[in-house]
Structure 1
């Protein structure tokens, strides 16, 4: 398993899987003021803000479908 630790603001965040997401996080955080991830709510709000940016700015990020859904409808 490929596991990476990174500091985002005052928190240590673990990532697993594709390195592409590390690059996306680096790009997203570049030039922004330091992020505060002290509480569960801070973490939730961070990813809530990141989610639409993933789809607007990074065209290769797609929604994941449940296996029971049909991909062609």
Structure 2
């Protein structure tokens, strides 16, 4: 399964968090504004990154800008 190897995969790009103002979900515990994260997988709407918990999480692209 592809998602089981994401933490060991190479980094696709880096993104910086611009805000954590979420409409539905609380993301401020897992993302820090101004911090740069490594993208391990990308879809049309989401980035999968290694977040503050140390695990891979999927977040809307609206929270980020590319570095």
Question: Larger radius of gyration, structure 1 or 2?
Answer: 1
- TM-score norm. by structure 1 comes to 0.22
Task: Identify, as 1 or 2, the structure richer in helix.
Answer: 1
Tell which has more relative contact order, 1 or 2 (C-alpha 8 A, sep 6+): 2
Task: Identify, as 1 or 2, the structure richer in strand.
Answer: 2
